[in-house]
Amino acid sequence: MSESPAPDVAENAARADPQTLTPDAIDAVLAEFRGWLTALAEAPPAPPPADEPPDLYTLLAQFTALRHEVNLQTRAVRAQQEQNAETLRRLTDALDALAASQDAKRQAGNAAAEEQIRPLLKTLVDLYDALALAGREIQRVQDAVLPALEQVAAAEPDERPAAPRSPAWLCWLGRRAPDAAERAAGRAKREERARKAREAAEGVRRTLAALIDGYTMSLQRIDRALAQHGLEPLAAVGRPFDPELMEVVEAVAGSGRPAGEVLGEIRRGYRRNGRVFRCAQVRVAAS
């Protein structure tokens, strides 16, 4: 600790008259100040203070300060946690809003695409119905015509009704009965007609078979196209009538089946994306 200047020097400096500050007086003052500084530098250092245990008051003060510091740190951490939680909540709300917006845009796009593709799907379904009906008609014609054609083609020429013989009174009129050459020529003509009939029957059979194969392949192709666009046929035959999926076109009595069971399908129904695209038209058993 520095020593204060001598009282007489300070008092003399305070009460000194400006006229008494001569060069000699100033040199004397500076010489005294230099001597004091030199003595201060040469003085032995003061011994360090002895280590003393802290008293109870100091210890309580330190613990109190530590407690306040911990409380302040706890408040700061809690405030930071609340701020982080609020930030996370806002981020979550923003992400939810963004996801909802994207879902809404996606649904709007799907609805627009659905409206655009629905007429095409309806046209495909109607085309399937037309081809299926034509295929059934061709099958019915084949079932009715082929047996008759096969009977005609299988008949032998001798089994066909022969031309009636000329009666005897034609000879009286100058006409004669056919000889062996004429009968052979007639037989050859009948065989030729039989051959042509067999060829015609075979041609009709091949034509009907080709038509049925063509209708079947077309229906299969349309089925694949409908499946690619999510259309699934509704299973109806043999099931109980469901008013949400089916429409009754005909009620058949005396079928021997339980009342309400679907006996046949007139027009096929479809489901798309879990919803009914078109109801099926069916025949059901009446009570």
The H-or-E segment that residue 229 falls in is none
DSSP H or E segment with residue 190: helix 180-228
User: pLDDT (tens digit, 9 = 90+) per residue, 81-118?
Assistant: 999 999 999 999 999 998 988 888 888 877 777 778 88
Q: Measuring CA to CA, which residue among 277, 168, 285, 186 is closest to residue 230?
A: 277
Q: Which long-range contacts (CB under 8 A, 24 or more apart) does 56-62 make?
A: none
Residues in the chain, overall count: 287
Alpha-carbon gap, residue 212 to 215, rounded angstroms: 5
Cβ atoms of 258 and 287 closer than 8 Å: no
Q: What would the mean pLDDT of 55-59 be, rounded to a whole number?
A: 80
CA 180 to chain centre: 85
Average pLDDT over residues 14-34: 73
Reply yes or no on whether the pLDDT at 168 is more than 70: no
pLDDT, residue 152, reads 67
The domain locations on the chain are: 231-287
pLDDT in tens, 183-197: 778 788 888 887 887
- Which of 171-180, 245-254, 275-284 bottoms out in mean pLDDT, i.e. has the lowest? 171-180
Are 125 and 270 in contact by the 8 Å Cβ rule? The answer is: yes
* Angle between helices 180-228 and 56-154 in degrees, nearest 10: 170
Q: How many CB atoms lie within 10 A of CB 260?
A: 15
- Higher-confidence residue of 53 and 282: namely 282
User: What average pLDDT does the structure give for the chain?
Assistant: 79
Arch. (CATH architecture) of 231-287:
Roll (2.30)
Indicate if the pLDDT at residue 16 is higher than 60: no
Residue-level pLDDT at 167: 52
Phi, psi (degrees; rounded to nearest 5) at 283: -105, 135
Q: Is-contact 284 241, C-beta < 8 A?
A: yes
